[in-house]
Structure 1
């Protein structure tokens, strides 16, 4: 497994992973464009990927503009191998090294992702959008979690 920063050349494989997930699926894959991905990994924040044998199997993206975790996904064939945890921790270490603002994310209720974020120390703060669970994490909470 290789973990590294995401680059524009990775976007095609990032989209494959994003559209392969079984939970938190996009209602319309066209809603997240390649340009959106590029903006988030080069202008708004930064992204990371996990590669196995030259194939991207997971990715995460943090957004400094809206203080948001824009994405954290692992291909279903590679779940439960610790990839999501490494991507998560790398992303939050970087995020809080850039700024100390609270970061938030949302995910569908009743999913493995919801359980994962709770186990990582994220605090439920309400409902977001169309019924998603909203989580928040502060720099202090993250430091204590590590």
Structure 2
């Protein structure tokens, strides 16, 4: 297992992986509908607005996470279903949180599905995230409070 910073040439594979997650899968076409494309993501990375990490197992990308420099938001955490439960998601989440903390953000936050039957619901809470009571487009806002 190798965790490393995401590079622009990784982005096409990450967009495919995003559509293969167990919950909240979004295809490259759906992401493009939100204005999120490999090209727009590469430009944001090049400008230093977004930074991310990915995990490779035997040379295959199995998960990734990224955050927003300016707003302190955890933007995405995606993992292939066959690699859940191995600590990869927690490790990737930790890299993004540590980076956002190093930038001095008083508030590190994300939006997540509020349904307790969705894996992310319990996962984020076990990793030190707390629901704020705020909602954005039907998703709950959570803040990192640490473990």
SS in 1 for 2:95: helix
Q: Offset of 1:40 from its aligned partner?
A: 4.2
CA RMSD, 1 decimal: 1.7
Are the counterparts in 1 of residues 77 and 89 from structure 2 also a CA contact under 8 Å? Answer: yes
Counterpart Cα distance in 2 of 1:29 and 1:100? 27
Question: CA offsets, 1:22-41, max 9 Å, x none?
Answer: 21233824233112322443
The residue that corresponds to 1:15 in the other structure is: 15
Judging by fraction of residues, say which structure has more helix.
Answer: 1
Counterpart Cα distance in 2 of 1:41 and 1:112? 28
The residue that corresponds to 1:105 in the other structure is: 110
The residue that corresponds to 1:34 in the other structure is: 38
- Tell me the TM-score normalized by structure 2: 0.86
Name the CA shift for 1:74/1:2 in 2 (closer, same or farther; >3 Å).
Answer: same
Structure 1 unaligned blocks of 5 or more: none
Name the CA shift for 1:81/1:104 in 2 (closer, same or farther; >3 Å).
Answer: same
Question: CA offsets, 1:75-99, max 9 Å, x none?
Answer: 1121111110110111111210122
Name the CA shift for 1:72/1:40 in 2 (closer, same or farther; >3 Å).
Answer: farther
Counterpart Cα distance in 2 of 1:39 and 1:106? 23
Name the CA shift for 1:40/1:113 in 2 (closer, same or farther; >3 Å).
Answer: farther
Give the count of matched residue pairs. 140
Structure 2 unaligned blocks of 5 or more: none
Farther off after superposition, 33-42 or 109-118: 33-42
Runs of 4 or more consecutive aligned structure 1 residues displaced over 4 Å after TM superposition: none
